[in-house]
Amino acid sequence: MTELETQKNTTNKTIYSCTKAKASTLLTNQRILDTIVRKSSINPTDTVLEIGPGTGNLTLKLLNVASKVVAFEIDKRMVEVLNKRVKEHGFEEKLSVIREDALKAEFPKFDLVVANIPYGISSPLVAKLVYGVNPFRSATLLLQKEFARRLLAKPGDSEFNRLAVNVKLVADVEFVMNVSKRDFLPAPKVDSSVVIIRPKDQIPDVNLDEWWAFTKTCFGKKNKTLGATFKQKKKVIELCRLSKMASSNGEEMNRNQYVCADDDGDNEESDGEECHSSSCTDGELLLFKEKIIEVLKAASFEDKRPSKLCNEELLYLLSMLNQSGIYFHELIKPSSVDNVAFAAAYS
Ligand SMILES: C[S@@+](CC[C@H](N)C(=O)[O-])C[C@H]1O[C@@H](n2cnc3c(N)ncnc32)[C@H](O)[C@@H]1O
C-alpha cells in the first residue's frame, strides 16, 4: 500500500492518513474525535450509521460505545485498512461495512448518524437524511465550515439560502464546535465545523414537491424582491403552465379557480419580447400575472426579499398562492417524502 500511511502521533498511537494530493483527509485529533462521540449521546443499544469511515479513526470510537456501526465506504483501500484495524480491536462482530456510494445506496435501519463525511456530497447527503424514509434521532456531522454556517443561518444572515430553508422545515440544527484544518492529516485547505441535526417531531402539512419548487423559485435570486422575481416574463409563463397542469391534475382540491381568458393574442405587456408558450395564451398570461401580483400585494410580500423571510412567512405565502390557483409543481399529490428527487435537486 503506497497511499495510505501509518504514523505515530504524540501519544505514540498509530494514526492513519493519506499522502497523495487527491486522497482523503482524515481526522486524527483524538480530542476532537472523542468530543464528537460524546456530543452524539450514543446509547449502548444504538446502531450508528457512518458515512465515509476512511481508515476508521472515528469508527473505532463509535464501536466502543454503540451496539453496532453500519459504515458506507466506497474506497476499497480504506475498507481493507478499516477491517484490519477493527479486527485488531476485536470489534468485527459489531461493524458492517457496505462498499457502496452512500448517495445511491438504500440505508438500513439506524438510530443516529455520526460521521466525518466527504464534503463534496454534503448537500445531497443532508437532504437524503432529513427528507429520507429512515427515521433517526440525530445526525452529528463534521462539515466544511462554510457549509455548516449555511445550515445554521437565520433569515437576514448573508449565508441564509434555500438549503437552510428546506432543512429548517423538517429539522433543527445545532452548532457544536469548529475544527481546525490542523486536526486533519493531510491538512485540508478549509476549516470545518461539527453540527447536530435533529429531525423535528412535527413538520408543517405542506406538499413537499410544491414546497421545494416554490423555494427554488423564491431563492433563485434570494436578494431580489418577490415582486421582481414573480413579474419576470419567463417565470409568469412557467408558472402559468404549471398551474394549469396542476389544476387539471388535482381534482379533489378544487384547483379550478384559475381563470382563463379568451385567446385575444395581444394582451401581453409590450416589452419587446415575443411570448412563447405552448399552453397559455397571451391573455391568460396577462391575467395570471395580475393574479400573482394581487396575491403578493394582499399578503404584503411584493417588496419583501426571500433572504429575510422565515419559514412561517414562506409557508403562508405559498398557501395564499395555492389558494389562488398558483402552483409551482405540475403534479400535486399528497405530501410525499421523495428524498431521491430532493437529493437530485442538490447534487
Ligand atoms: C474526508 S474522509 C473521512 C474519513 C474518516 N471519517 C475520518 O474522519 O478520518 C471521507 C471518506 O468518505 C469516503 N467517500 C467519499 N465519497 C463517498 C460516498 N459517496 N459514499 C461513501 N463513502 C464515500 C472516502 O473514500 C473517504 O474515505
Atom of ligand 1 nearest to the CA of 56: 5
% of residues, the chain, pLDDT over 90? 73
What is the CA(58)–ligand 1 centre distance, in A? 11
Residue 312 assigned ligand-binding role: no
Q: Each residue of 59-87: pLDDT tens digit?
A: 999 999 999 999 999 999 999 999 999 99
In degrees to the nearest 10, what's the CA dihedral of 254, 258, 259, 265?
A: -140
For residue 345, the tally of other CB atoms under 10 A from its CB is 17
Confirm or reject: Cβ of 54 under 6 Å from ligand 1.
Answer: yes
| Pair 108, 135: CB distance under 8 Å | no
The answer to whether 101 is annotated as binding is: yes
Regarding whether 260 and 156 lie in a shared domain, the answer is: no
State which residues form the domain around 19: 3-199
- In whole angstroms, what is the distance from residue 273 CA to residue 292 CA? 20
Q: Domain check: are 212 and 175 in the same one?
A: no
- Residue 105's CB: how many other CB atoms inside 10 A? 14
The answer to whether residues 179 and 315 belong to one domain is: no
Do 7 and 38 reside in the same domain of the chain? yes
CB of 118 sitting under 6 A from ligand 1? yes
Residue 57: which of 108, 4, 128, 110 has the closest Cα?
A: 4
Q: What is the ipTM of this complex?
A: 0.98
Give the pLDDT mean for 16-27: 61
Q: Identify whether residues 124 and 25 lie together within a single domain.
A: yes
User: With the C-alpha atoms ordered 19, 195, 158, 126, is the resulting torsion angle positive or negative?
Assistant: positive
Q: Are 263 and 337 part of one and the same domain? A: yes
- Same domain flag for 244 and 193: no
pLDDT at residue 247 in the model: 77
Which of these three, 199, 224, 242, is where a domain ends? 199
Query: pLDDT class for 246, splitting at 50, 70, 90?
Result: confident
Check if 26 has its Cβ closer than 6 Å to any atom of ligand 1: yes
Q: Which of 199, 219, 246 is where one domain is finished?
A: 199
| Residue 101 CB less than 6 A away from ligand 1 | yes
Q: Give the tens place of pLDDT for each residue, 115-142.
A: 999 999 999 999 999 999 999 999 999 9
Query: At which residue does the C-alpha cell 484544518 appear?
Result: 181
Q: Are residues 143 and 18 part of one domain?
A: yes
Q: Is the CB of 80 under 6 A from ligand 1?
A: no
Task: Indicate if 282 and 334 belong to the same structural domain.
Answer: yes
250 and 152 both lie in a single domain: no
Tens-place pLDDT, residues 284-327: 999 999 999 999 999 899 999 999 999 999 999 999 999 999 99
Which of 175, 199, 223 lies at the terminal end of a domain, its last residue? 199
- Nearest-CA residue for ligand 1 atom 13 is 52
Alpha-carbon gap, residue 132 to 119, rounded angstroms: 19
Whole-structure pTM value = 0.83
- Tell me: do 173 and 224 sit in the same domain: no
242 and 308 belong to one structural domain: yes
How many domains does the chain fold into?
2
What CATH number does the domain containing 34 carry? 3.40.50.150
Q: Which residues contact 12 (CB under 8 A, 6 or more apart)?
A: none
Task: Select from 270, 40, 269 the least CA-distant residue to 138.
Answer: 40
